[in-house]
Structure 1
C-alpha cells in the first residue's frame, strides 16, 4: 500500500494476513523445537492436522469476512474455532502460543462486547499454559503454580487492555454521535439560513414597499400643499379674467395666473429634486448642503449660514439623502411660513451619531396647534419625521410664536461600506 494507507486499512491487512504469518512462524518453531520439548510422533501428526485445519479455517474466514458485518455470528464461530485449534496446538507444542496470541488483537472485531472478556480469558489460559513449562496440561505442582501466576498476569493484562478498548470504543461512539449531531445541526442551520434568506428577501420587499408608500405620501403632501393650491388659484384668476369686461383688470388676473403657474412649476421641480437627490451624485453631504443653503438664500433673500462641526466622514447614501431632504423641507417651510430674516444650518458629526439643526428667527408657531398629518398644512413636519424614522432617527421641533423655529434631526452615523 502507498503512503496514504490509513490505520484502519493496516489493521484490516493484519486481521487478514496476520494469522497466516503467525501460524507459519509458530509451525517453524515447533518443528525446530520438537526434540527439545519432547514432542512425540503422534503430537507431530496431530499438530500437522491442526495446522491444516487452521489454514482451512483462515481461508474460509478470508472469503466470508468481507460479506458479513463486524461481530456477526460467523465471526463468533471463527473466533471460537480458532481459539480451540490454538489451544490444541499449544497442547502439542508450547511454541504454537505464537499463533494463539492473535486472539488478543482481533477480539473486538469478532466478538460482541458482552463476550469480549470471556474470549480474552480463554486466550490468556492458552498463553499461560504454553508458558508454564511441561506442555498442556501442566505436568507438576510447580507447573500448575506457574500456570496460575501466568494466567493471573495474562488475565490482568487482558482485562486492562479490554477496558481500554471498551473506553476507546465508547469514545469513538461518542465521537460518531457528536459528528452525527453536528451534521444534523448543520442541516438545521442550512435550513434556517434558507428560511432567513427568504425572510430577508420578504423584509426587503416590505421595506421597499414601505419606502414607496412613504414617498407617495410625501408627494401627495407636496401636491396638496403647493401644486393643488397653485392650480386652484390659477383657475380662480382665469375665471375672474374671463368674467370681467375691463381689459386692464383682466390683464392683472392673467398676470397673477402666470405668476401662480411659475410658482407651481418651481414647486413641481423642487418635488422632483427631492425625490431623487441629484445633489449627492457629485458632492458629499456637507458640499450638497452648502450649495442648497446658498441657493436658498439667493432665491429667498434671507441671510443664511451653513456650519459643519466634527470630523467629516463618508455616510451611507440613505442617511445622506434623508438629511439633505430634511434640510430642503425645513428651509422650504422657513421660506413659506416663517417670514424670517436669518437662518442657520448646522451639520454635526459626533460619535456614532450625526445631527442636522435648521434654525430661523421667523414668526414661529405653536407646535401643539399643528393640524394632524393628512390635514391641510400638516405634511411637512410629518414627512420629515417619517423620513428620519425610516433610518432609525428622529426629528424634534422647538418653536414658540414670535421666537423662531428650530428643527433638529438626529440619525445614526452609518458609514458608507
Structure 2
C-alpha cells in the first residue's frame, strides 16, 4: 500500500475519485446550510461572524484545491480536520464537514498516520452527536466519551476492512499481471514451437524426397535399366542371326522385356503418386494396385479386408500403400511365387497389412538386403511409428507384416 496519496485524482471517471475530489466542498456546503438554518437556535451573534469568515476561507481553499493547487496532502488533511473541529464549536452541524476525514485519511496522511486522523475525526463527530463541544455537564461528558469510542471503533473497523479489500485488490492486480506475463511467455513458446514444428516438417519432407530419389534410382537400375539393356541385347542378336525363326524369337523376347519394363515403369509412377488416395480409400486403391500387379505378373492374389474400416490419415495410408507395392515388387523379382495373399486388418488402435507368398523364400540370417528393399520399407515404417516383421524360410515362402497406429483422417494437423 502506498504511504501517501494525492488529493487530486486525475481519473474523474472513477466514482471514488470524483467523491474524493468533490466530497469535501459538498460536505462543507451541506454543513453550512444546516448551520445557517439553525444559527438562531444554536449560535450567538458573536459566533456567526468568525464562523462565516472561516467558512468563506475554507470555500476559497477548496476551490483552489479543485483547480489543482493541492499542496501537501498531510497539511490539507490536518488543516481541514482542525477547521471542522473549530466550526463544530460554533454549531454541531458543521461537524458534517469532518466526515470526509473517515474516507481520505490513508490517501492524504499515509498508512502510518491514518489511524491518528481517524481518531481526530471521531472527536469532532462525537462532540457534535453529544450536542456540541465542550460538554456542559458530567452526564454529557459520559455520553461524549461513549460516542467517541463508538465512532473510533466503527472508523477503525471500516479502515481495517478497507485495508483488507485494498490488499486483496492489489493481490488480484498482481495475479492478473503475472497471468498476463505467463500468457505472453506461453504465446512466445507456442510461436517457437510452431516455428520448430514447421522446421521439422521441412526436414521430414526433404528426407522423404531424398528417400524417394534413392528408391527411384534403385528402381531404374534394378528394373528399367536392366530391361532396356536386355532389349538392346535381344534386338542386336535378332539383327545378327541369319535364321528368321531365331530372329523372331529374339524380337519376341525383346517385346516381352519391353512389356515388363512398361509394367515396372507404371508401378514406379503409381508409387510416386499417392494422390490417388485423395479420391479413393486405401482399400480401393490397394485392390486396384493388387489387380494390376496380378495381371502384369500372372500371379494369383487373394485380397482380404477384416475389421471395421476407418478413414486413415494421409501419411499412414500412403506409407501402407507404398510398402505393399514394394513387397509385391520383391515377390515378383525374387520369390518365383504362384500365389500371394494380401490382408488388411483394422483393430481397435492399429491397422496391419500382411503380404504372404508361396515362393522360394530366403534365409533371413544370411540374406544380403539392398538399401531399397526391406531396408527401404523399414525406413518408411519408422517415420510413422510402425513395426515391420518379416518371416521366411527357404522353400516355404515369405510373410511380410506391417503394423501401424490407427490414426484417423483429420486427427493430426
Q: Provide TM-score, normalisation by structure 1.
A: 0.88
- Rounded Cα–Cα distance in structure 1 between residues aligned with 2:18 and 2:278: 73
Contact 1:226 1:264 in 2 (8 A): yes
Aligned equivalent of 1:386, options 376, 379, 389: 379
Q: CA deviation at 1:102?
A: 1.6
- Rounded Cα–Cα distance in structure 2 between residues aligned with 1:34 and 1:100: 19
Aligned equivalent of 1:397, options 390, 395, 409: 390
Structure 1 position 22 matched with structure 2 position 20: no
Q: What secondary structure is seen at the aligned counterpart in 2 of 1:365? A: coil
Partner residue, 2:175: 178
- Deviation larger for 147-156 or 254-263: 254-263
Partner residue, 1:304: 301
Give the paired residue count: 400
Contact 1:234 1:261 in 2 (8 A): yes
- Deviation larger for 327-336 or 341-350: 327-336
- Rounded Cα–Cα distance in structure 2 between residues aligned with 1:15 and 1:278: 73
Q: What secondary structure is seen at the aligned counterpart in 2 of 1:325? A: helix
Structure 1 position 95 matched with structure 2 position 93: yes
Q: Deviations over 1:226-275 (max 9, x none)?
A: 22333444455566667778777666555544543443333222211111
Equivalence map 1:16-415=2 (5 Å): 16-37=21-42, 39-64=43-68, 74-133=72-131, 135-234=132-231, 236-237=233-234, 256-277=253-274, 279-374=276-371, 379-415=372-408
> Structure 2: 5+ residue runs without aligned partners?
1-10
Contact 1:221 1:380 in 2 (8 A): no
Q: Deviations over 1:274-309 (max 9, x none)?
A: 110364354311122222222322232222211111
- Deviation larger for 365-374 or 242-251: 242-251
Q: CA deviation at 1:30?
A: 1.8
CA, structure 1 residues 148+96, in 2 after alignment: closer, same or farther (shift >3 Å)? same
- Rounded Cα–Cα distance in structure 2 between residues aligned with 1:111 and 1:173: 20
Q: CA deviation at 1:22?
A: 2.1
Q: What secondary structure is seen at the aligned counterpart in 2 of 1:105? A: helix
Aligned equivalent of 1:10, options 12, 15, 34: 15
Contact 2:263 2:296 in 1 (8 A): no
Q: CA deviation at 1:169?
A: 1.2
> Structure 1: 5+ residue runs without aligned partners?
1-5
CA, structure 1 residues 231+212, in 2 after alignment: closer, same or farther (shift >3 Å)? same
| Alignment root-mean-square deviation, CA | 2.5
Q: What secondary structure is seen at the aligned counterpart in 1 of 2:202? A: helix
- Deviation larger for 153-162 or 266-275: 266-275
Q: CA deviation at 1:157?
A: 0.9
Q: Deviations over 1:20-76 (max 9, x none)?
A: 332222222223333433x222211111111112211210111117xx7xxxx6322
Q: CA deviation at 1:110?
A: 2.6
Partner residue, 1:3: none
Contact 1:26 1:96 in 2 (8 A): yes
- Rounded Cα–Cα distance in structure 1 between residues aligned with 2:30 and 2:296: 110
